[in-house]
Amino acid sequence: MVITGTGNLTGLLKFAATPATASTLQNLTINRITNGLITLGSDLTIEKIYKPTAGVLSIGSDTLSLNGTIDATAVNTGTLTGSSSSNLTIGGTTGGSLGTLNFTGGTGVLNLLTMNRTNVGANAAAVLGSSLSVSSLNLFNGILATGNNLFTWNNAGGSLTAPPAQSLNYGDSYICLCNSTGDTPVSFTKPFDGTLGFKIKNVSTNTFFPVGVDFISPNRMWINNTGDPDDLTVVMEKGDIGNTDKPRVNRLWYARQSDSANKKMSADMKLYFTKRDWTPGFPSPQDERNRFPLDRYTSCSKRL
């Protein structure tokens, strides 16, 4: 399907409820100049190529499923618009990355984001091209790379589902605080100001941050805050704080509390990493390169 023209599309883009394939398109191109708005009136699945040449696709109160790729062969200026009732699923089993998700105005809002893309290999299932805030987050399969953006879980009645930290599939899906290729952490200022990375609002007890810094394995962070609930943002980089004896974990976590002037957090913290086999007599810095069984995924603890 190709949608062209100028200005907003009159009415809703609506598909029949039956048969099940009626709301599935192989390809969708939107080339609605002057930022024309197209609003979904029903769920839509795009199996192959989504090409947002120009214009805005609003998900409305429906679910958009992207199972193929976002065309990147030309300069696409089109964007997605979501709301507190919009759902977005990154699915598909054919492998490879979806591409970059760009939301209108530089900040997206969704009710539910579901990551469920398999056979991706050493790639991100999707990359954020702008900041995004979600009420609920399902991390089933596939890595979401934040780029230099802020990804927020609102933690206000919604849920965050991710593979258990100490399980055989712990690395199947997480938030990578890195660029689109997984070889560079997000670029943040020091001291860290919390303007990008992964934020969880209203952090209290037993809160997992399903994060990592490359596409090889996650480095989750667990917080058990028994003090004042507050927003907490985390970024990561590879390295150590200096003069650390070997063998060491070559990871640094940076966390920023939003309102430290008025709220006092009191928390236990666990930082998770994947252990490697050390060459006898020649220890080297930890740098995850392989997936290991359950007993090799461990953590260290810290009191805040």
Q: Containing domain of residue 116, as a range?
A: 34-303
Q: Is 29 within a domain?
A: no
Is-contact 285 246, C-beta < 8 A?
yes
| pLDDT higher than 70, residue 94 | yes
User: What average pLDDT does the segment 165-188 reach?
Assistant: 90
Q: Is 202 within a domain?
A: yes
Q: Is 18 within a domain?
A: no
Q: Is 105 within a domain?
A: yes
Q: Is 26 within a domain?
A: no
| pLDDT higher than 60, residue 95 | yes
User: What average pLDDT does the segment 148-176 reach?
Assistant: 91
Q: Is 25 within a domain?
A: no
The count of structural domains within the chain is 1
Residue 276 is predicted with a pLDDT of 59
**d(C-alpha 70, C-alpha 202), whole Å:** 34
pLDDT by residue (tens digit) across 28-52?
999 888 878 999 999 999 999 999 9
Q: Is 183 within a domain?
A: yes
Q: Is 24 within a domain?
A: no
